[in-house]
Amino acid sequence: MIQENDFCDDLSLLNKPADFMEGKMLLVDKPLDWTSFDVVKKIRAGLRRGLKIKKIKVGHAGTLDPLASGLVIMCIGKATKNIDGLMGWPKTYEAKVKLGMTTPSFDLETETDYTFATGHITEERIREVLKSFRGEQLQVPPQYSAIKIGGKRAYDMARCGEAFEMNARNVTFHGLELLGFENMEATIRIECSKGTYIRSFARDLGTAVESGGFLTGLRRTAIGPAKVENALSINDVERQMEALKENFLIS
């Protein structure tokens, strides 16, 4: 079984294509406004330049939205065979949910469409409602998501104003903890299963407190035993890629 110490934390220490082809896994702290595939492209291009090779497999073990930051697991070479297993690991997030309003995308991608009363919402009520989410739940994914409907991406259909329905799916919330509540914005630590949409959770939390809700911030802090505090920043990745290139020229 893969453990946290199986992840590589310094690519610059490796200077042969075979070191990567045999398989390496890397923890990266994805910044806001980057897609998970942006990180893939950054690492793949850096390895090609640094190792002077044309092809190398690089993939990620679970998408993180551009409006979210935090942990992504990158798999290189033969380690890409681990992706399916890694994607099944539970995830941990810190989410910020604004109550009293909704947006069509359930996050900041779209403008507010409805407002609701909030005078009845208290910290105690939120804590009580969170208990009802624990365990297995049926969750309806956002229409603004990459799920395919009849061969089309749901977010493309939503942005074009097409009418369609999303099917509910089983997800599991292993743990929920209210970390703070101020100005009708709740900060919540969420431990959940593969396939959980935190944007849908924000919508459902708003409904559960008899109001509205949407996601205003999201950071993934863990995937299984892997923690974001042990991940490389994009700047770290860039520095290591440059060092890798220099090492290859010297070797």
Give the pLDDT score at 158: 84
Indicate which residue of 29, 65, 107, 204 is catalytic: 65
pLDDT band at 248 (very low <50, low <70, confident <90, very high): low
For residue 53, the SS3 value is coil
> pLDDT digit string (tens) for 48-106?
887 888 889 999 999 999 999 999 999 999 999 999 999 999 999 999 999 999 999 99
Do β-strands 213-223 and 226-227 pair in parallel, antiparallel, or remain unpaired? Answer: antiparallel
CATH class of 91-223: alpha beta
Give the pLDDT score at 3: 63
Percent of the chain predicted with pLDDT > 70: 96
> pLDDT digit string (tens) for 222-234?
999 999 999 999 9
Residue 250 clears pLDDT 70, i.e. is over it: no
CA 60 to CA 226: how far, in whole Å? 14
Average pLDDT over residues 183-198: 97
Alpha-carbon distances of 248 from 19, 42, 127, 149, rounded to whole Å: 12, 18, 55, 46
Mean model confidence pLDDT for the chain: 91
Give the pLDDT score at 165: 86
Residue 249 clears pLDDT 80, i.e. is over it: no
The helix (H) or strand (E) run that includes residue 45 is helix 36-51
CA 16 to CA 24: how far, in whole Å? 13
> pLDDT digit string (tens) for 152-166?
888 888 888 888 888
Give the pLDDT score at 15: 64
DSSP 8-state class, residue 232: B
Q: What is the DSSP string of 171-203?
A: EEEEEEEEEEEETTEEEEEEEE-TT--HHHHHH
CA 139 to CA 169: how far, in whole Å? 5
DSSP 8-state class, residue 137: E
Name 227's bridge partners. Answer: 222
Q: Is position 65 annotated as part of the catalytic site?
A: yes
The domain limits of the chain are 4-88+225-250, 91-223
Give the pLDDT score at 181: 98
CATH class of 4-88+225-250: alpha beta
Residue whose tokens read 């005078």: 119
Q: CB of 57 within 8 A of CB of 24?
A: no
CA 174 to CA 193: how far, in whole Å? 7
Residue in 200, 191, 187, 89 with CA at minimum distance from that of residue 143: 200
Residue 188 clears pLDDT 90, i.e. is over it: yes
